[in-house]
Amino acid sequence: MIRIGITGCAGRMGRMLMAETAGSEGVTLAGGVVRAGNSAEGQDLGVLAGIEPCGVTATTDIAALFDTVDVVIDFTTPGATVDHAGHAADRGKALVIGTTGLDPAQEQALRRAAETAPIVFAANMSLGVNLLLGLTRKVAAALDADFDIEIVETHHRHKVDAPSGTALALGKAAAAGRGVALDAVAQRARDGHTGARRRGDIGFAVLRGGDVVGDHSVVFAGTGERIELTHRAGDRRIYSRGAVRAAVWAAGRAPGLYGMSDVLGL
């Protein structure tokens, strides 16, 4: 039995991750941590997850969580994630990170932590999106800059970062297919008199509203024809299922920074 711990376990994804862990074979829900001051402290993890009580309660002791489990799954906030990666690095414990919106310095901190701990870090844990990443790279490699690449994403009204981590990952995949760096070609916002589109740019457009789980489209717009690759997430379970799969894969593995393509063998 692989013992899994969940951070941010009172959050939207935290609760789903606990239910997924409790319902999966070969793993056990061994602990959960909430931010100090969160009213869920002391509550049974099963009750928090909306399933039957499991006899383990939510604490605020992150060090104890890392000491007692084989792998931690973290869908929290960038600052908390960097802190949790430090705990993983100190102990060589596996960590699966789904948090998005990390800045370059925070991503660098994860790379450092991955020198002593196995870390899976993916902006999107779903099988479908990871296939979309591969397809995007292939199509971008097959077409030249006569095809303008635009990435459109829609998420629920509570999402705090934009463009989504998945949209940026799709941008990176498209840029890699073209053999360029995303930073050199990304157009992250357009407003006012922007002038004509620059050849080779990769544009992003962001919609926020309602309870949309997550839609992503990559548009390759040529002259007289257009290719659109789209993924629509209908259920957040696709993320928690992928995360638990990643946790099983990562537990006890050699240190390194891994992605879902490693986990899924794509």
Ligand X SMILES: NC(=O)c1ccc[n+]([C@@H]2O[C@H](COP(=O)([O-])OP(=O)(O)OC[C@H]3O[C@@H](n4cnc5c(N)ncnc54)[C@H](OP(=O)(O)O)[C@@H]3O)[C@@H](O)[C@H]2O)c1
Give yes or no for a contact between 261 and 130, defined as CB atoms under 8 angstroms apart: yes
From candidates 24, 100, 136, 154, binder to ligand X by CB under 6 A? 100
Between the alpha carbon of residue 36 and those of residues 29, 56, 58, 65, the distances in Å are 21, 17, 11, 14
CB of 222 to ligand X, least distance (A): 31
Q: Is 159 tagged catalytic?
A: yes
Alpha-carbon distance 195 to 41, whole Å? 53
Q: How many CA atoms lie within 13 A of 205 on its CB side?
A: 9
The least CB distance from residue 199 to ligand X, in Å, is: 32
Residue 239 lies near ligand X (rule: CB under 6 A): yes
Closest approach, Cβ 166 to ligand X, in A, equals: 8
Whichever of 91 and 237 has its CB closer to ligand X, that residue is 237
Q: CA angle, 86 as apex, 84 and 88 as ends, to 5°?
A: 75
Active site residue 155: yes
Write down the residue that tokens 């084989």 correspond to.
Answer: 70
Q: Say whether residue 32 binds ligand X (CB under 6 A).
A: no
Residue 5 as a binder of ligand X (CB under 6 A): the answer is no
Q: Does residue 33 bind ligand X (CB under 6 A)?
A: yes
DSSP letters along 38-96, please?
A: -TTTTSBHHHHHTS---S-BEES-HHHHHHH-SEEEE-S-HHHHHHHHHHHHHHT-EEE
Least Cβ distance, residue 45 to ligand X (angstroms): 13
Residue 221: helix, strand or coil by DSSP?
Answer: strand
Nearer to ligand X, 89 or 125 (CB): 125
Q: Report if residue 237 touches ligand X, rule: CB under 6 A.
A: no
Nearest-CB residue to ligand X?
11
Q: Which CB, 76 or 220, lies closer to ligand X?
A: 76
Q: Out of 93, 155, 172, 231, which one is annotated catalytic?
A: 155
In Å, what is the CA distance from 99 to each residue of 4, 118, 160, 261? 17, 16, 11, 17
Torsion angle in degrees (nearest 10) through CA of 50, 245, 158, 84: 100
Cβ contact 105:37 at 8 Å: no
User: C-beta of 198: minimal distance to ligand X in Å?
Assistant: 29
Site for ligand X in 116-175 (CB under 6 A): 122-125
Q: Which stretch binds ligand X (CB under 6 A): 32-40, 46-54, 133-141, 177-185?
A: 32-40
Structure-block tokens of residue 95:
């960590």
Task: Spell out, one character per residue from 58 to 97, where the chain touches ligand X: x when CB under 6 A holds, - when not.
Answer: -----------------xxx--x-----------------
Q: Cβ distance 27 to 21 under 8 Å?
A: yes
Q: By CB under 6 A, name the one of 14, 32, 46, 177 that touches ligand X.
A: 14
Catalytic positions are: 155, 159
By CB under 6 A, name the binding residues for ligand X: 7-8, 10-14, 33-35, 38, 75-77, 80, 98-101, 122-125, 239
